[in-house]
Chains A and B, each alone.
Chain A
Amino acid sequence: MSSLSPPVNRLITELSRLPGVGQRTAQRLAFHILRLPPEEALPLAEAIREVKEKVGQCEVCFNLAVGPRCRICEDERRDPSLICVVEEPSDILPIERTNEFNGRYHVLGGALSPIDGVDPEDIRIPELLERVAAGGVREVVVATNSTTTGEATALYIAEQMRERSPNVAVTRLASGLPVGADLEYADEITLGRALRARREL
């Protein structure tokens, strides 16, 4: 490693910070990038700069957004009385692909996890409760992952909603999702089925 020049080392270090990328893969990627002509390598750097500069969070649902609101919140045809709660923005994609859901979303940005010190205030739970309490919502579908932390988060949301907004139905994606599964890895058919058969929490 030390035989490489500092800029190359820096590239390897940055790449190895990416999830799922170890030292060895980082080296391979770095040497690949070094071999590329500038017109092929620079668009990658440019794309990274662009998302970091332009993409922020939707002020309503905390989905990714260019500008103050995301495309789903801006879409008038989407039912605002139905809110689907997910852990991460990436969890929205598989649900959208099923074409079964025409409501809006709420992105928590994580799940409750005492081990990691994540409390309700650390994810967007207070914002969710406020958003629902403001009215106009008929059902909240909790689509957190079916992992231990995802299930506990769903339970917590259901308890809070029962207290504060007892007239709003809180449902959970029906089983059909494999236990312990991340939403990201569920296929469209199972996810579609789970959406249609959601149950009262």
Chain B
Amino acid sequence: MDAVRVTGVALRNFRCYARAEARLAPGLTVVVGANGAGKSNLLEALYFGCTGRSSRTSSERELVRFGERVARVSVDVEAPDGGHRLEVGFEPGEAKVMRVDGAKVDSLARVDVRPLVSVFMPDRLDLVKGPPALRRAHLDRFVAALWPARGDTRQRYSRALAQRNALVARVRAGAASPSLLDTWDVELARAGIALMAVRGEALTSLSEPFSQLAAQLGLSGEARLGYRPRSRAATADELRAELRERREEDLARGFTTHGPHRDDLELAREGRPLRAYGSQGQQRAALLALLFAERELLAARGRPPLMLLDDVMSELDFPRRERLIELLRSGGQAVVAATEPEHVPGCGDPDVALLTVAEGAIAAREQVSA
């Protein structure tokens, strides 16, 4: 196995858990518990331990158990070169402390032995129905995970854009010469074409698996994933010319009005955007199809993500549950939360780990002895 896999997780004063531990199956792990039992908290802890960030909140002090000072999560992983331990400690007001095998690191983003994580929870439907900025950010993160060497393409564009916007403002205020825009148009166009190229390439490879997976997950009608770039330029020079044409407008409005910072990706069913016309269930199926399509591409490059799925089973009818579980068990590692074990077909199978959470404790299913 050449992928990185999570073998276990330990929580200390994280959300409702004072001290808890769990081991994950190499394939599917099912977390069951009543409402409020701590299922989402356990999934969040896995995300936090693998990435150093929360999947749910930007206000990290919420992670620390009431009345405590420091929240900690450690994740044990099995990588091609053996076992490793990732640790994240957080105390409000202090810098987060992250360690790999005991050695401090500034960020887990560039750590090879950490698994990528892909999350499904109801909030994430915003990716389908929310504003384009969310989809662009998601796509660019996927690009960075898929091709780490091109991971800074978005940053490079953002930096050039910030500089050009600053220059537009200065020219507008009469503080700088408009001819300086020539230089920044070239720089922005180069970075912009590179960004459009990686986005286009990623979406081209995602689109076929997306359509197939959407059908498999029970989204009726033809589902498509498409790139909607703002610019039609094929070369940096063409993009530069487009920027030049809009210079007067940019100067009038005070910012750069054209370029890939205004791109979108479209999830459509029967030729209509799901954002506007999709039912709740169709949007959910499309999001799952997108995440699974991403998993396929990442797996092909040896980095299948750990999938965390929260609040999805109860929303699906029985045949769709079965197909989702089938997909989850077809490869890679996943953790699924559900209020009832019956919501997860096959959760009694011996290769599936079943964790029961209640009152801040995590219990593993007792091994049935032969």
Which residues of A come within 8 Å of B, CB atoms?
Answer: 112-115, 117, 119-120, 147-149, 151-152, 155-156, 159, 179-180
Contact = CB atoms under 8 A, between A and B. Distances in A.
B166 interface: yes
Nearest to A180: B152
A119 B180 contact: yes
Interface string B127-164: 00000000000000000000000001000100110111
B167 A114 contact: yes
Contact of B183 (A115, A117, A156): A156
Contacts of A120: 180
Q: Which of A149, A155, A159, A180 has the most CB atoms of chain B within a 10 A radius of its CB?
A: A155
B163 A115 contact: yes
A148 B191 contact: yes
A148 B166 contact: no
Contacts of A180: 152, 156
B152 A179 contact: yes
Binding site of B, secondary structure by majority: helix, strand, loop or mixed? helix
B176 interface: yes
Binding site of A, secondary structure by majority: helix, strand, loop or mixed? helix
Given A113-B163, A114-B163, A152 B187 contact: yes
B160 A148 contact: yes
10 contacts: A112-B180, A114-B170, A115-B162, A115-B166, A148-B160, A148-B163, A148-B187, A152-B186, A155-B183, A156-B183
Nearest to A113: B163
- Top 7 A-B pairs ranked by shortest CB distance? A114-B167, A114-B166, A148-B159, A115-B166, A156-B183, A152-B187, A155-B183
Nearest to B171: A114
A117 B159 CA distance: 15
Contacts of A156: 180, 183
B40 to A, nearest CB: 37
A182 to B, nearest CB: 14
A68 B163 CA distance: 36
B179 to A, nearest CB: 9
